[in-house]
Structure 1
Amino acid sequence: MNIALWVAQFLLAAVYLGSGLVKLLRSREQVIASTGAWAEDYSDGAVKGIGAVEVLGALGVVLPWLTGIAPVLTPIAAVGLVVVQVVAIRVHLRIGDTKTLPVNVVLLLLAAFVAIGRFAG
């Protein structure tokens, strides 16, 4: 079970680090062009804020457990990523973008798996 949790943690970290850095380092217009129309409804600051939350979640889902420093932060970060995906699914449904929903659901389930597994362990 520990190996499965680590695989899930590193997958989540890779996805959210990449996604968050795109939002942090590119302009809102570039984010719209590369990730979809969802960002049209949000300000530059909101898009950067989402990116920052994703980067912090990516770090939080791995580093505390890996280092042994405040390991309770890992499942808390995973819960935060569940919330990110719930909001993302809601946004995508609102704008009629259903093609990304399977990815959102998989990320939500991975984050829930990590949260439950690490709170239990």
Structure 2
Amino acid sequence: MNLALWIAAGLLAVVALAGGISKTFVPKEKLAEIPYAGWTEHYSAGFIKTLGILELLAAAGLILPAALDIAPVMVPVTAVCWVLLMVGAMITHFRNSEAKVMALNVIYLAVAAFVASGRF
């Protein structure tokens, strides 16, 4: 079970890292050109960068506390925060009629819920 939790947390961390890097360092105009990123047109560049920073923090929070054995309770707390972030992402993608991305968000939400329940 521990190995499955590490794999799930690692996969979520990779997703969070990729999303965080793109939202933090890629200009809003370039992000809008990516498929299923039309939602960026409705939000400010500052908001998008803030989401990116939160995703970078989530990537660290899913791995580092358990790996370093410093406040390991932060792993499930981060996973719960990721669940909330995915709920917001699903609402945003629903408003833009992006069902394929919503399905992916549901998968990420389920994996984060698995990590949260397994680590609490």
- TM-score normalised per structure 2: 0.96
In structure 2, the residue matched to 1:70 is 71
CA distance in 1, matches of 2:101, 2:84: 17
Query: Secondary structure at 1:62's aligned position in 2?
Result: helix
CA offsets 1:71-100 (integer angstroms, 9 cap, x no match):
111100001100110000000001111121
In structure 2, the residue matched to 1:27 is 27
Unmatched runs of 5 consecutive residues or more in structure 2? none
The yes-or-no answer on 1:10 pairing with 2:10 is yes
For residue 18 of structure 2, what is the amino acid of its counterpart? G
CA offsets 1:31-56 (integer angstroms, 9 cap, x no match):
11125101111000000000011110
Moved over 4 A (4+): none
Aligned length: 119
Q: Structure 1 vs Structure 2: percent identity of aligned residues?
A: 43
Residue pairs, 1:76-115, within 5 angstroms: 76-115=77-116
Shift of residue 110, structure 1, vs aligned partner? 0.5
- TM-score normalised per structure 1: 0.95
CA distance in 1, matches of 2:76, 2:100: 28
